[in-house]
Amino acid sequence: MAFPTEDGLVQATDDVSFHVDLGETLAIVGESGSGKSVSSMAIMGLHNPKTAKISGQVLITSMGSTTDVVSASSETVRKLRGGTVSMIFQDPMSALHPYFTIGNQVSEAWLLHNDGTKEDARKKSIEMLDLVGISDAKNRFDSYPHQFSGGMRQRVMIAMALVNHPKILIADEPTTALDVTVQAQILKLLKDMQKEFNMAVILITHDMGVVAEVADRINVMYAGRLVEEGQVDEIYKNPVHPYTIGLLQSVPRVDQIRGTRLKAIPGQPPSLISLPGGCAFEPRCEFAKYVPDNRCKSTRPEVEIKLAGHQARCHLSAQEVRSHL
């Protein structure tokens, strides 16, 4: 996906390919600006065709039929959104309308996709609010968002996203605005709901700790490109892309002494308007010196299988990277 701007073409994502199955959680991780949200907007068909140029396909298969969100009519995409595919965001306050009661907002989400009366919608919404842990949901139905805490508002957002039993749930930084205890509760709720509805969950985060807790697979993105993909356990044990190695070194470990500073990856991501011709990570990569003929500067690496079920975009083999750790 690219955005034409006055300064030039912003290549927000390029050559990004991923899939997620029912019942599975795929985490998309990467620094700010790496293209995580832009990718999820494309899945939801939320890109503005006037400002975004999108090429490729976003295929959603549900009940035996496959839809390409990129080429489908806006009517088809509207039906998918909030029905088969749903999304929750980092900040529930910006997604909930302050002037409408929470019950009203969950009901509206249901009425958009179902033929039923207001009374049916009320019943469904109360059931859903109850399921996501809003106590006394019947009476809280008529409360306004500001009468709820941050964690409760996030629960309402989850109820809204799930009221139509979606097959795919995209959660874009769903817990970053919450304190640690509430974060853990919301992550647990998402896991429980995933089991309940057998959903595919795409979790967008820059928090590798959250990933370790809830994801089955990880896609690591850097400068709009996929750089490493594999099962969570495998990537934590054997990261093979220098960027992922850097990300993991910046995560505190249980055995780490309290107060030790996390290791940040030195440098900044490149401008998406003038990406380096070779590897986008080259200016920050400590391993580039091991690749002969300056190939990291001149040649763009392709995604390759490095270990069983584990691929990465780097000129070095898994063994070469590990020998220099």
- Summarize as ranges the residues that interact with ligand ATP (CB under 6 A): 3, 5, 10, 12, 30, 32-38, 51, 206, 272
Q: Name beta bridge partners: 305.
A: 311
Does 316 bind ligand SF4 (CB under 6 A)? Our answer is yes
**Minimum Å distance from CB 202 to ligand SF4?**
25
CA distance 113 to 120: 13
Tokens of 183: 């974060």
Cβ burial of 208 (10 Å; 0-12, 13-18, 19+) is buried
Does 223 bind ligand SF4 (CB under 6 A)? Our answer is no
Under a CB-based contact definition with an 8 Å cutoff, are residues 287 and 242 in contact?
yes
Of 12 and 291, CB closest to ligand SF4: 291
Of 10 and 111, CB closest to ligand ATP: 10
Binding partner selected for residue 288 from Mg ion, ligand SF4, ligand ATP, none, CB under the kind-specific 5 to 8 Å limit: ligand SF4
- List binders of ligand SF4 among 107-136 (CB under 6 A): none
Under a CB-based contact definition with an 8 Å cutoff, are residues 138 and 116 in contact?
no
H-state helical runs in 224-279: 232-237, 242-249
Element (H, E) at 212: helix 208-214
Cβ-proximal residues to 164 (8 Å cutoff; 6+ apart), any chain: 82, 83, 86, 109, 110, 113, 114
Calculate the CA 226 to chain-centre distance: 13
Binding partner selected for residue 47 from ligand ATP, Mg ion, ligand SF4, none, CB under the kind-specific 5 to 8 Å limit: none
Residue 252: how many other CB atoms lie within 10 Å: 13
Binding partner selected for residue 51 from Mg ion, ligand ATP, ligand SF4, none, CB under the kind-specific 5 to 8 Å limit: ligand ATP
Tokens 């000129």 map to which residue?
315
Does 296 bind ligand SF4 (CB under 6 A)? Our answer is yes
Phi and psi at 312, nearest 5°, equal -155, 160
Tokens 């900044």 map to which residue?
268
Of 81 and 315, CB closest to ligand SF4: 315
Query: In this chain, which stretch among 18-26, 173-181, 182-190, 314-322 interacts with ligand SF4, using CB under 6 A?
Result: 314-322
Does 245 bind ligand SF4 (CB under 6 A)? Our answer is no
Query: In this chain, which stretch among 44-52, 85-93, 207-215, 311-319 interacts with ligand SF4, using CB under 6 A?
Result: 311-319
**Minimum Å distance from CB 34 to ligand ATP?**
4
Of 113 and 225, CB closest to ligand SF4: 225
Q: Rounded to a whole number, what is the largest CA-CA distance in the chain?
A: 70
Site string for ligand SF4, 254-293 (x = CB under 6 A): -------------------------x-xx--x-xx--x--
Cα dist. 212→12, 102, 186 in Å?
26, 32, 15
Does 240 bind ligand SF4 (CB under 6 A)? Our answer is no
**Minimum Å distance from CB 255 to ligand ATP?**
28
Binding partner selected for residue 112 from ligand ATP, ligand SF4, Mg ion, none, CB under the kind-specific 5 to 8 Å limit: none
| Site for ligand SF4, rule CB under 6 A | 241-242, 279, 281-282, 285, 287-288, 291, 296, 301, 314-316
